[in-house]
């Protein structure tokens, strides 16, 4: 009797096959995991860059318009004798947090001209030649008189502006009533400097005031990193009254540096990158001082350097950023073209805005203030 030939795999062959298969599957999973992590990381980076680009576009647009129809500043009723700067920087006092910036200008697409000297005995109201399209009750408006009789060295005349801000309370056809109550109004709107009413030909524009900051008021808010906008530019100094609202999340820093025409008020030149004693860069607390309300116009912002920093909204593995960008010049934090924020190793154990293994990106840009007498 003949035995049939047995066919199949031995136990050892099966074990070898399983080991090889497991190695192959493990390699495939490892490659897939790496590709998946890289893909998610790139998606998050793309999201951060889109948010940065949108924020930069908005801030850059405001900065380019700063000072339009108010080159020598403007007045508000809550500080009737002081001139407000069309560009304002509140530098983070400790140098370890984000700055706050604001820009003010006229919306010349929403404009009109006062047609008759008003009688403000009962309420401050005035008529314009035509209805001011785009202006509605609740808006802030600016009234502007322009004087072109001032000359520079006898060679040319310049335009000087008397500008004040009022709040619209009612509109009927081409008659505009404005508030006579603080913080935006006073009796006869005396902060505008008229005797006592505006003259025929006074221009009326919608007032644009855009302030930007990052809310780090609480650890929870700092962790979210909300970039905020104020429709009053933060002029009132009150979080609620200034209407700060969230625009986007994931921001960790705003850094500003200003070049200012400072009339050579200090002897010699500041230790900034140039050798011009009249045009100096400031990157620390002096920015706050130079853009605060003043009784007489002294210092003219010429240009600004602004940097925005943002991060991913979740932790990432393997490709997290090692430190925040260096946004200052070591050895000269007070007078440079960047700011006064040092680099910080990540993740931070003390700063709630910088915790976690995140990817950081930043964008920097410079803007000339073309409406503020750059050529002086």
Q: What pLDDT digit, counting tens, does each position of 63-113 carry?
A: 999 999 998 899 999 999 999 999 999 998 777 789 999 999 999 999 999
When pLDDT is cut at 50, 70 and 90, the band that residue 172 belongs to is: very high
Q: Using one digit for the tens of pLDDT, what is the confidence trace for 233-248?
A: 999 999 899 999 999 9
Confidence at residue 376, expressed as pLDDT on a 0 to 100 scale? 42
Q: Using one digit for the tens of pLDDT, what is the confidence trace for 33-50?
A: 766 666 666 677 788 899
Copy the structure tokens of residue 331.
């050895």
The residue ranges of DSSP E strands in the chain, in sequence order, are 74-76, 79-84, 87-90, 100-113, 125-127, 140-152, 156-172, 175-178, 203-214, 227-230, 245-248, 251-261, 279-282, 300-311, 360-368
Q: Using one digit for the tens of pLDDT, what is the confidence trace for 134-168?
A: 999 999 999 998 887 776 655 566 778 899 999 99
Spatial distance between the Cα atoms of 361 and 341, rounded to a whole number of angstroms:
15
Q: How far is CA 69 from the centre of its chain?
A: 20
Cα 142–Cα 147–Cα 151 angle in degrees, nearest 5? 140
Q: Which has the minimum average pLDDT: 38-47, 181-190, 287-296?
A: 38-47
Q: Report domain extents, the chain.
A: 46-368
pTM of this prediction?
A: 0.87
Spatial distance between the Cα atoms of 350 and 97, rounded to a whole number of angstroms:
12
When pLDDT is cut at 50, 70 and 90, the band that residue 316 belongs to is: confident
Confidence at residue 325, expressed as pLDDT on a 0 to 100 scale? 94
CA-based nearest residue to 124, from 192, 163, 177: 177
């Amino acid at each position: 009797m003949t035995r049939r030939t047995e066919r199949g795999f031995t136990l050892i062959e099966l074990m070898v096959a399983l080991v090889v298969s497991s190695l192959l599957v493990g390699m495939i999973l490892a490659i897939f995991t790496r590709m998946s992590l890289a893909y998610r990381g790139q998606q998050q980076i793309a999201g951060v860059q889109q948010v940065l680009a949108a924020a930069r576009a908005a801030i850059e647009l405001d900065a380019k318009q700063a000072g339009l129809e108010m080159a020598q500043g403007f007045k508000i009723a809550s500080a009737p004798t002081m001139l407000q700067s069309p560009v304002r920087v509140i530098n983070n006092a400790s140098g370890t947090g984000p700055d706050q910036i604001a820009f003010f200008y006229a919306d010349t697409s929403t404009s009109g001209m006062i047609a008759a000297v008003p009688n403000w005995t009962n309420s401050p109201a005035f008529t314009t030649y035509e209805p001011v399209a785009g202006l509605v009750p609740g808006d802030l408006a600016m009234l502007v008189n322009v004087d072109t009789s001032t000359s520079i060295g006898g060679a040319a005349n310049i335009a000087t502006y008397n500008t004040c801000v009022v709040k619209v309370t009612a509109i009927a056809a081409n008659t505009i009533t404005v508030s006579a109550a603080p913080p935006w109004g006073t009796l006869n709107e005396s902060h505008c400097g008229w005797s006592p009413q505006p003259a025929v030909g006074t221009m009326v524009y919608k007032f644009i005031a855009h302030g930007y900051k990052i809310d780090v008021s609480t650890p929870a808010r700092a962790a979210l990193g909300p970039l905020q906008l104020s429709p009053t530019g933060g002029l009132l100094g009150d979080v609620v009254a200034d209407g700060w609202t969230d625009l986007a999340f994931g921001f960790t820093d705003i850094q500003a540096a200003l070049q200012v025409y400072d009339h050579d008020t200090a002897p010699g030149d500041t230790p900034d990158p140039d050798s011009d004693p009249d045009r100096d860069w400031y990157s620390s607390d002096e920015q706050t001082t130079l853009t605060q309300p003043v009784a007489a116009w002294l210092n003219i912002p010429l240009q600004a350097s602004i940097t925005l920093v943002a991060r991913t909204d979740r932790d990432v593995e393997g490709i997290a950023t090692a430190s925040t960008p260096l946004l200052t010049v070591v050895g000269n934090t007070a007078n440079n073209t960047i700011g006064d924020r040092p680099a910080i190793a990540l993740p931070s154990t003390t700063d709630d805005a910088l915790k976690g293994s995140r990817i950081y990106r930043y964008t920097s840009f410079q803007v000339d203030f073309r409406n503020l007498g750059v050529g002086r």
